[in-house]
Amino acid sequence: MKAELPFNGPIGVFDSGYGGLTILREIRRRLPQFDYLYLGDNARAPYGPRSFDVVYRFTLQAVNYLFAQGCPLVILACNTASAKALRTIQQTDLPQIDGTRRVLGVIRPTVEKVGELSRNGVVGVLGTNGTVRSRSYDMEIAKLFPDFITVAQECPMLVPLVENDEAEGGGADFFVKKYVDALMTKNPDVDTVLLACTHYPLLYDKIRRFVPENAIVVKQGEIVAESLADYLERHPEIAERCTRGGLCSYRTTESPDAFTKLARIFLGEPVKVSHVELA
Ligand code: DGL
């Protein structure tokens, strides 16, 4: 017999590791009244190079864990998980687990905003190998804005650079320039560069420096936060189930020590975290 899930609870925020903290920070800034439970699957990150099946399986485990903690709503604050797992979870798993709960991703709200921002409809996407190869952004942009042209560039070195605290170093300059140049060579008319990875806001200044001046560089955090605020307003039946106390707890599949050290890079403040096993 299936165990009863708690009816009310915090908003769950899931990422493969630390990157989702950049999204969580903006969500908490925009919606400070709610409680949050952040889960990072650090022991199995990065998800970027992993196959569809594996990312889907890991993400579903994370969603089940967050539901078991009572989360009525889970945000997949990870582009790779949103690209590779969200649709199947929404369409196949959710109705079986609990059709009254919701799982939302970061791709749709970001694409909606990019559609407003781009002046000439030529969008450049920077992301992990997994996100770029899934073509999720290309497909979502084509669906919402059929006249747009999307070019994408894989940036496999950027996540490791950030996670090794090298975002400020010369190595990061080298790789950011390399990837931005590669993107702009694919289509020099790109007027909007989308940072389609949770880690890239930490490289924003460098990316901005190498992207041509007339193009805009778009971070996701604020967009996702705004879209969540709008969602909760339109869905009071979900909002009512999200507890309000302004609290935030953290869980990781890695050791708490490792998480605490690196989380500081992303949040700018220390956090207390506990270990969980996902299965
Ligand atoms: N959070 C991932 C994303 O936004 C980046 C890290 C990873 O590859 O796991 O795509």
> Which ligand 1 atom lies nearest to the CA of residue 47?
9
Q: Determine the pLDDT at residue 269.
A: 85
79 in contact with ligand 1, CB cutoff 6 A: yes
Question: Furthest-apart CA pair in the chain: how many Å?
Answer: 59
CA distance 97 to 203: 38
Residue to probe by mutation, ligand 1, list 106, 128, 194, most atoms within 8 Å of CB: 128
C-alpha of residue 168 to centroid of ligand 1, in Å: 19
* Among 262, 23, 39, 45, residue whose Cα is nearest residue 163: 262
Residue to probe by mutation, ligand 1, list 15, 52, 59, 137, most atoms within 8 Å of CB: 15
pTM of the shown model: 0.94
> Are 45 and 12 a contacting pair, CB within 8 Å?
no
Helix (H), strand (E) counts: the chain = 14, 10
Residue to probe by mutation, ligand 1, list 13, 16, 22, most atoms within 8 Å of CB: 16
**Packing angle, helices 221-234 and 20-30, rounded to 10:** 50
48 in contact with ligand 1, CB cutoff 6 A: yes
Neighbours of 120 (CB within 10 A): 12
CA distance 270 to 161: 21
Residues near 101 by beta carbon (within 8 Å), at least 6 away in sequence: 5, 67, 71, 72, 73, 74, 94
78 in contact with ligand 1, CB cutoff 6 A: yes
Give the residue numbers annotated as catalytic, written as ranges.
78, 197
Q: Determine the pLDDT at residue 5.
A: 86
> Are 41 and 253 a contacting pair, CB within 8 Å?
yes
Helix (H) / strand (E) element for 11: namely strand 11-15
16 in contact with ligand 1, CB cutoff 6 A: yes
> Are 251 and 39 a contacting pair, CB within 8 Å?
yes
Structure tokens at 32: 């400070």
DSSP 146-166: TT-EEEEEE-TTHHHHHHTT-
Query: Within 13 Å and on the Cβ side, how many CA atoms surround 201?
Result: 19
Residue 37 to residues 40, 68, 189, 248, Cα–Cα distance (Å): 10, 12, 41, 6
> Which ligand 1 atom lies nearest to the CA of residue 45?
9
Mind listing the pLDDT tens digit of every residue in the chain (279 residues)? 456 888 999 999 999 999 999 999 999 999 999 999 999 999 999 999 999 999 999 999 999 999 999 999 999 999 999 999 999 999 999 999 999 999 999 999 999 999 999 999 999 999 999 999 999 999 999 999 999 999 999 999 999 999 888 999 999 999 999 999 999 999 999 999 999 999 999 999 999 999 999 999 999 999 999 999 999 999 999 999 999 999 999 999 999 998 998 898 898 888 999 999 999
CA distance 159 to 49: 11
